[in-house]
């Protein structure tokens, strides 16, 4: 975002010399990034009336050096409009939206009857009532009484601002005449102290923030709290980044506002209104540029700290990954050995010194030197002197670190480093080894114990559900078997007591013996006629038994038998699933037991990886904020 000041100066100008006028005005269009400051009436007034803007201009242009000189209203600020950014709550109307049309029409009628002064007075009273209600919500119910008990602020034709040389007009005032503008000024909210001290609303805090920024910019900066100062503890860097309760603007929204500045110099002040106004605007530009510089510097410092944190976390992650590798742990154990390196001398070539380090332990270390990398980036060759003295007792890791750090770095680039890669020690430049690390995949992390425990709990729950279902099926099958047996007994008892059945059984038995036909001849039981009679008798007997069985509950037997068949299939499926779940549960328990053994190392690796992810996101976020922060620009159009 940019800060754009479009200035149209009005006044008597003496070309080639001083303006020789006591009155001047300009229209200022301000567009500012919300990351630099919230744009509302309070912040604009607080900044304009700070010691770095108005007081500095009064001292340098008008030669005003006494505090009482700035107690007079030298400059008046009038809010014209705002776009793309929300207005401050202190300058918004408190009327509901549905009443605006009615109120506007009523105000036009009252203006026709009582004149324009009535409309101006009513608007001012309504604004003050809404403002008081908002202030009471912040400061408590005693705020209104406190306001009424300030008789020294009441002035004829308007109220005087409590900042150096300033007064304020309501939002949207057209200002048809200087007299109207003077009558339309009103009281500054409490808390905006002398020389630009901030208010609790957060807006006037810009005055204190800008007050005393530099020794050359703040004659009264010390009395206003100094650089980044403020009223009531609201200043400092906390205010600069947005204190609690202040309106937080969306950084992606361009906020802009248009104000009108009036300069009216008294008789005992040099008639340099144009010069004074131009100096005020120049100081405004400098203050905003200084605020931009502070914000940019803070973001850059934060980025530098975040990058350092990212590097340290990356080192911790690599250390955890190395400790997780059995080969790397073995190499680190060898490096912790105290050895005799008295054979190394400063004139010995680096290749020879590396060979001494390699053979200092048994088994020898696997040391790989990237000679092409060192030669291309650092101009280090195998014949380059080692430049270190040998010692009879030294830890091998310390000696390796001294040898690598002692390598020459004539090009001023990233120096040489050494890394443990599994069972190999690699010596090369930081650039090459970091690229190799970035291209490599992330280290494998041991199985998470918490995930395995959750999986075990889920499998245990499923096994229990399957066992409960099987138990229910067994109980149901047993109950159905009992019901079937009971129904069968009832059917047998009924059949045994049924006379028709008994007779049919006797008839069937008779037909199975030899009988005579109608002519009195004996008929063999194997003859077709005898077999037919026997079959018919048995059919009638079966039909009778079926009818009695149905009457005694035999229909339920069929349903029970069908359900038993279905249950047999379901039980077979459930028992198969239960077997698989038990196998899975045993496997998870074995993994959990194994993971529990290595959990401390896995936890360190996991925590280091999470910390690295957080640090990387922080770096990216700060880089984005720095790239989005645009330097301010000031353009003056139509200036004398």
Model confidence at 526, in pLDDT bands (50, 70, 90)? low
296 in a domain, yes or no?
Answer: yes
To the nearest 10°, report the CA torsion of 223, 229, 232, 238: -170
Of 387, 422, 457, the residue that ends a domain is 422
**How much is the pLDDT for 273?**
86
Alpha-carbon gap, residue 379 to 372, rounded angstroms: 9
Provide the residue range defining the domain that includes 543. Answer: 444-516+527-598
Q: Tokens at residue 377, please?
A: 């980036």
Number of domains present in the structure of the chain:
3
**In a shared domain, residues 411 and 487:** no
**In a shared domain, residues 337 and 388:** yes
More confident residue, 187 or 37: 37
More confident residue, 101 or 48: 48
Annotate 235-271 with b (16+ C-beta within 10 A) or e (fewer).
Answer: bbeebbebbeebbebeeeebbbbbbbbbbbbeeebeb
**In a shared domain, residues 542 and 573:** yes
Neighbouring-strand partners of residue 23: 264
**In a shared domain, residues 454 and 566:** yes
Alpha-carbon gap, residue 373 to 411, rounded angstroms: 13
**In a shared domain, residues 371 and 453:** no
Q: Tokens at residue 545, please?
A: 């038994």
3-state secondary structure of 425: strand
**How much is the pLDDT for 443?**
43
More confident residue, 286 or 326: 286
225 in a domain, yes or no?
Answer: no
**In a shared domain, residues 450 and 557:** yes
Of 422, 455, 475, the residue that ends a domain is 422
99 in a domain, yes or no?
Answer: no
Structure pTM? 0.42
**In a shared domain, residues 409 and 477:** no
* Rounded average pLDDT over 614-635: 85
Mean pLDDT in the chain? 69
Of 392, 422, 452, the residue that ends a domain is 422
**In a shared domain, residues 544 and 407:** no
**In a shared domain, residues 448 and 594:** yes
Q: What is the CATH number of the domain that holds 57?
A: 3.30.70
Write down how long the chain is: 640
To the nearest 10°, report the CA torsion of 606, 608, 612, 614: 70
């Amino acid at each position: 975002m940019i800060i754009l000041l479009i200035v149209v100066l009005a006044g008597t100008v003496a070309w080639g010399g001083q303006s020789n006028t006591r009155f001047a005005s300009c229209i200022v269009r301000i567009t500012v990034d919300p990351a630099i400051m919230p744009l509302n009436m309070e912040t604009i007034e607080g900044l304009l009336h700070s010691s770095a803007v108005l007081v500095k201009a009064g001292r340098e242009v008008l030669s005003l050096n006494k505090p009482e000189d700035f107690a007079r209203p030298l400059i008046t600020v009038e809010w014209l409009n705002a776009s793309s950014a929300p207005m401050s709550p202190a300058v918004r109307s408190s009327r509901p939206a549905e009443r605006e049309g009615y109120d506007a029409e009523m105000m036009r009628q009252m203006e026709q009857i009582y004149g324009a002064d009535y409309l101006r007075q009513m608007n001012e009273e309504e604004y003050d009532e809404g403002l008081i209600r908002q202030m009471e919500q912040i400061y408590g119910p005693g705020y209104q009484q406190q306001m009424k008990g300030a008789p020294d602020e009441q002035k004829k034709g308007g109220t005087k601002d409590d900042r150096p040389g300033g007064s304020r007009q309501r939002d949207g005032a057209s200002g048809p005449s200087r007299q109207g503008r003077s009558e339309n000024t009103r009281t500054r909210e409490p808390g905006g102290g002398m020389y630009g001290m901030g208010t609790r609303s957060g807006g006037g805090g810009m005055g204190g923030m800008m007050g005393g920024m530099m020794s050359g910019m703040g004659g009264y900066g010390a009395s206003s709290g100094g650089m980044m100062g403020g009223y009531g503890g609201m200043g400092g860097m906390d205010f600069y980044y947005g204190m609690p309760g202040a309106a937080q603007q969306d950084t992606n929204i361009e906020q802009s506002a248009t104000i009108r500045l009036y300069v009216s110099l008294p008789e005992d002040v040099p008639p340099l209104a144009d010069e004074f106004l131009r100096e005020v605007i120049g100081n405004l530009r400098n203050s905003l540029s200084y605020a931009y510089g502070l914000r940019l510097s803070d973001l850059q410092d934060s980025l530098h700290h975040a990058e350092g944190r990212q590097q340290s976390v990356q080192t911790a992650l690599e250390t955890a990954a190395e400790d997780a590798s059995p080969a790397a742990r073995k190499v680190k154990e060898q490096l912790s050995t105290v050895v005799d390196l008295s054979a190394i001398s400063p004139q010995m070539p680096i290749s020879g010194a590396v060979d001494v380090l390699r053979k200092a332990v048994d088994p020898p270390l696997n040391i790989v030197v990237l000679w092409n990398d060192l030669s291309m980036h650092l101009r280090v060759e195998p014949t380059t002197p080692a430049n270190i003295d040998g010692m009879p007792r030294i830890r091998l890791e310390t000696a390796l670190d001294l040898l690598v750090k002692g390598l020459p770095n004539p090009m001023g680039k990233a120096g040489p480093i050494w890394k443990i890669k599994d069972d190999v020690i690699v010596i090369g430049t930081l650039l090459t080894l970091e690229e190799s690390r970035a291209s490599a995949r992330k280290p494998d992390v041991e199985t998470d114990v918490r995930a395995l425990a959750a999986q075990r709990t889920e499998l245990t729950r499923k096994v229990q559900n399957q066992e409960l279902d099987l138990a229910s099926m067994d109980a149901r099958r047993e109950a159905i078997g009992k019901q079937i047996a009971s129904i069968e007994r009832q059917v047998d008892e009924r059949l045994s007591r049924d006379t028709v059945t008994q007779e049919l059984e006797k008839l069937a038995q008779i037909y199975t013996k030899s009988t005579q036909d109608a002519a009195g001849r004996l008929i063999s039981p194997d003859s077709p006629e005898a077999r037919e009679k026997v079959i018919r008798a048995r059919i009638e007997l079966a039909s009778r038994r079926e009818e009695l069985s149905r009457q005694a509950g035999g229909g339920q037997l069929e349903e029970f038998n069908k359900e038993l068949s279905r249950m047999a299939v379901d039980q077979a499926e459930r028992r198969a699933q239960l077997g698989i779940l038990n196998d899975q549960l045993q496997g998870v328990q074995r993994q959990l037991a194994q993971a529990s053994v290595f959990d401390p190392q896995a936890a360190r690796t996991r925590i280091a990886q999470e910390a690295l992810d957080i640090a990387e996101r922080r770096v990216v976020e700060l880089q984005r904020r720095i790239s989005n922060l645009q330097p301010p620009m000031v353009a003056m159009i139509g200036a004398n």
